[in-house]
Structure 1
Amino acid sequence: MKSRMRHFFGPDGRAFVLAMDHAALMPSPALKDPGHVAREAAAGGVDAFLATFGIVKAFSKDFGRAGIILRGDGGASALKKPMGCLEALYRAEDALRLGADAMLVMGYPGSENNEHTLGYLARLAADCDRWGLPLGAEMLPYGFEKPLGITPWSVENVAFAARQGVELGADFIKTAFVGGERFREVADHCPAPVLVLGGSDNQGLEALLHGVKEALGFGARGVIMGRNIYRHENIARVCAAVAAVVHGDADVKEALKLAGGVQ
């Protein structure tokens, strides 16, 4: 399992993963040419791709030497209102047959689908462990629900959700970067590496790089982001800038130079 983790975590223990799984749930015009996005991102230095079964099957040749993390759940659709509940779709054996290095599924503690998502997370963790395949859990307290009187993604809730994912068997965690310096509480409470998601998809590159730099400074071990990367025309340069921050500890000004004027 550790050897598979090393395919997307660098020698510094950090990872930069490009998420390409959005079109499985909602229209994603910027992903109309997955092969182009993958080739550009690979050239820019991403460590791995998070992608769906169909995209891995059709475009893995475009991933270059980067690792592959298979999205293990899905089945919901933006055409249904509300979108509906995700389902576990694939097993460890399916991922290995595609040449994937890991799998990743959602976990929504506190949400309407609490027991469902956490249940299939735990079952898949056991399945992956049997095959020596790492499993990531995207742990988002309350999912995307907005219950009245509650701050769903508070530091306390995110810290608990991340820890709960590890307790259920996840080998790495994807979650929101919250709380600034208090994010250390999330990272310190979680025995597995924590990777942060990309956040708002309309922020400029400088703001994005500042966010990555801040998250790493407060304990994150890398990032898993998508739309903030592939919405740009020059994906390779944007990836090079993010990779410089993640793996080179570059400051934001240095990283922006690598982006060559991309805003």
Structure 2
Amino acid sequence: MANKIHRLNHIIKEDKRTFIVAIDHGNIFNVLPELMKPEKIIKEIAKGGADAFLATVGLVDKFPDAFMDKGIILRLDGGMSMLGNKDKSLERIFTVEDALRLGADAVICMGFPGSKWEEKYLKNLSRNVAECNKWGVPLLAEMLPMGFEGGEGSRTDDNLAFACRLGAEMGADMIKTYYTGCKEGFRKLIESTYVPVVILGGGKRINEEKLLRDIKEALDIGASGVAIGRNIWKHPNPQRLTAAIAKIVHGDYSVNIALKELNKIY
């Protein structure tokens, strides 16, 4: 059985960085029309240079070849939808063994300290960590203070640093969290979290230049990579944007050069 390090090496590359694309949104949200044909867009993003995907059971099971041997991080929690009652928490609906049967390299789950359902989220996180340690599977914890209901007001430097450190203390192998644009606050977060931290893309569409500058800035401060979804697969040319981001993550390109590559006419 492969160990954690072997599996992590399929996600985090030799330069200690990773570029993850999130396509797990269909677990809860309506993702049409952009992901109407998921096999096609997954292939485009894989060709563009993504290292790994955050994915759902359905996508990994039905389109295994589309991922082109990229790393797979399987979403374990769900159990609610955009049509359902919003006054409930995400549940643990799949197990680490399910992920292994599908050939995933790692798993992801939520950790929402300070949220209305803090106890449930943190217990689910600890249970997943225990199973991951048993099977030698890395766990990526999405550590968001106050959860989705907290809003931007909950994303203070101290709250974010605490949430990420808590995820590490609970046994997560990687942390996914917000980058607010505060360099000093994010530096404190990186220095106090002793496992790799990747920044998420967020639910809002932002322009290409800001997206690339945020990525470059976070990497320069010490982030280990990015985990971006909608800002990539809602883009008119996901493959080309993926390639531009990959150049920043692994090639240490400047934002201006990456933008030129993105906008080059072929």
After superposition, residues 2-151 of structure 1 pair within 5 angstroms as 2-29=5-32, 30-82=34-86, 84-146=88-150, 151=153
What residue number does 2:175 align with?
Answer: 173
User: Following the alignment from structure 1 to structure 2, what is the Cα–Cα distance between the partners of residues 80 and 124?
Assistant: 25
Mean Cα deviation higher: 21-30 or 115-124: 21-30
Distance 2:94 2:27 in 1: 14
Separation in 1, partners of 2:225, 2:82: 29
Q: Which residue number in structure 2 is paired with residue 244 of structure 1?
A: 247
Give the whole-Å Cα distance in 2 for the aligned partners of 1:188 and 1:80: 39
Which residue identity is paired with 1:48? A
Structure 1 pair 233–83 and aligned structure 2 pair: CA distance change class (3 A)? farther
How many angstroms does 1:114 deviate by? 0.2
Q: CA RMSD in A?
A: 1.5
Q: Write the distance in 1 (CA, Å) between the matches of 2:39 and 2:179.
A: 29
User: Within 1, Cα distance between the matches of 2:39 and 2:190?
Assistant: 34
Tell me the SS of whatever aligns to 2:84.
coil
Contact 2:198 2:227 in 1 (8 A): yes
Report what 2:204 is aligned to. Answer: 201
CA–CA distance in structure 2, aligned partners of residues 7 and 233 of structure 1 = 28
- Alpha-carbon shift at residue 253 of structure 1 (Å): 1.1
Structure 2: distance between partners of 1:118 and 1:215: 26
Distance in 2 (alpha carbons) for counterparts of 1:181 and 1:32: 40
- Hey, what does 2:213 align to over in structure 1? 210
Provide Cα deviations, 1:140-163, integer angstroms capped at 9, x if missing partner: 00001238xx93111100110001
Equivalent-residue separation in structure 2 for 1:174 and 1:261 (angstroms): 31
Count of residues in correspondence between the two structures? 260
- Percent identity at matched positions? 46
Amino acid paired to 1:174: K
Give, in angstroms, the shift of residue 256 of structure 1: 1.2
**Residue 83 of structure 1: how far off its partner (Å):** 5.6
Q: Is the 8 A contact 2:115 2:150 kept in 1?
A: no
Q: Does the 8 Å CA contact 1:139/1:173 hold for their aligned counterparts?
A: yes
SS of the equivalent of 1:151 reads: helix
Deviation at 1:26, TM superposition (A): 1.1
Distance 1:76 1:182, change over 3 A: same
Query: 1:92, CA displacement in angstroms?
Result: 1.3
Structure 1: gaps of 5 or more residues: none
Is the contact made by 1:76 and 1:83 (CA closer than 8 Å) also made in structure 2?
Answer: no
Offset, 1:261? 5.2
